[in-house]
Homo-oligomer: A and B are copies of this chain.
Amino acid sequence: MTVTLQSTAILDMHASLEEVGKALEAKMDEILPRPDGLESNIISLHDGHMQTQSSSVGDEGIVMEAMRYASLSGGKRLRPFLTVTCANIFGVSQHAALLAASAIEFIHTYSLVHDDLPAMDDDDLRRGKPSCHVKFGEAVAILAGDALQAFAFQILSSQEVHSDPYVRCELVRTVAKAAGANGLVGGQMLDLAAEKKHLSVDEIIRLQRLKTGEIFAVSCEVGAMLGKAAPNLRNALRRYAHDLGLAFQITDDLLDAEGTREETGKHVRKDEQRGKATLVKEMGIDRARAQAQTLAQQAIAHLEVFDTKHVRHLQALAEYVVTRKQ
């Protein structure tokens, strides 16, 4: 990280990002099923009279191990940071915010696990480690991704996330929609199709809005929903997240085009090799970088409805995502 370029606000935000990342890692470790057969808290609590007997875990422990491997692997944890930071604006408890943030990170993680499969992006390196299917085999990676998705919805519908069942239903519904064919999965489909045909700038933006933007948006919205935020505030956060997501994705593509494996923790020049449509390729490096800057400023402008002290980390994050080196 080129510290000289970073403002105090970005350094403060970065400290908070690291703190949330650690708290999230601990929360996910606590709630993920354990291959040793001890049921996690979130599974055993609040199931009422109908709970099946807890049984010792056999070979299905391998799936749980793979779920943990893929989830507890560091990473920037930007989406959970958005959830927790937005939840903080509305005074939501840290425990509830981290649970909901974990659910979103499980959705993100499952999509990475499936995206790395040979039939998809065929990537053997993720967050500086062998991808899930390289470590556990393809079948286990497919199953671990599937179980992570189910687990995310199990968490979001759990009483611990929010006492009001209307809010829990809204969380499930909003995240499910953002994860599905009209969101994340739709974006990944466009991404695959983009390898075979030329996309216009508008089509690439649409692809990115589905693939990255919807989950960024929902990460912020979940924080707002937990705090029963007014519609205009929730909407402002949603717009912020969409612009942030696009700026983030352009920077990702810039890093792929310019960064090194050591800096980024993953293979670079992949887009070029696979003939992938990116804004960097369409617009050139300089215009793409300028576009990312504009989007970051636009994202910050959406935050004007809030008191500055509540959104300084979100502002700094928008500055950071376009200057990051990994």
Contact = CB atoms under 8 A, between A and B. Distances in A.
Copies of the chain in the assembly = 2
Interface stretch (A20-28, A231-239, A257-265, A297-305): A231-239
B193 A59 contact: yes
Interface string A34-77: 00000100010001011000010011101110010000000000
B150 A180 contact: yes
Give the dominant DSSP class at A's interface.
Answer: helix
A90 to B, nearest CB: 16
A223 interface: no
A188 interface: yes
Nearest to A187: B60
Count chain B CB atoms within 10 A of each CB in A55, A138, A165, A185 and give the residue with the most.
A185
A93 interface: no
Nearest to A146: B185
A212 interface: no
Categorize the interface residue count of chain A: 35 or more
A306 to B, nearest CB: 18
Q: Give the top 6 A-B pairs by smallest Cβ distance, nearest first.
A: A60-B186, A119-B138, A59-B193, A165-B165, A154-B176, A150-B180
Given A140-B192, A151-B180, A159-B169, 11 more contacts: A47-B177, A50-B221, A55-B206, A60-B186, A64-B181, A111-B146, A114-B146, A119-B142, A146-B185, A147-B180, A169-B172
Interface of A: 33, 39, 43, 47, 49-50, 55, 58-60, 62-64, 67, 110-111, 114, 117, 119-120, 137-140, 142-143, 145-147, 149-151, 153-154, 156-159, 164-166, 168-170, 172-174, 176-177, 179-182, 185-190, 192-193, 203, 206, 210, 221, 231, 234-235, 238
